[in-house]
Amino acid sequence: MKTITEYRPMIFSQLGAQAEHVSRHRRRLGIDLLAALGYGVLGLWLSFDTGFAPWQWQFWLMFAPLFIAGELAWRAWAGVPRAR
């Protein structure tokens, strides 16, 4: 039978790994929320500047290339592998 002192390194390594995972997840969530906010601001600006509402196809004709370019630039900068 093992004592608590023999299990202590395993317990603290598990707690440390879990805390690191939660911290990484929170940072990623913050970055994703910032990106969504940026796209929202860009879409609103484009809508007000052109007069096209988001439910009109002309808006998406202008916004889609900006969205795709932003996503491709973000993936190239972050080093995210492409789905195949």
Is residue 63 within 8 A of residue 51, CB to CB? The reply is no
Give the integer Cα–Cα distance in Å for 4 and 73.
Answer: 50
What pLDDT does 1 receive? Answer: 64
Task: Give the per-residue pLDDT at 83.
Answer: 60
pTM of the shown model: 0.56
User: Cα–Cα distance between 68 and 14 in angstroms, integer?
Assistant: 39
Under-70 pLDDT residues of the chain: 1-2, 4, 80-84
Q: Which of 66, 15, 55 is nearest to 74 (CA)?
A: 66
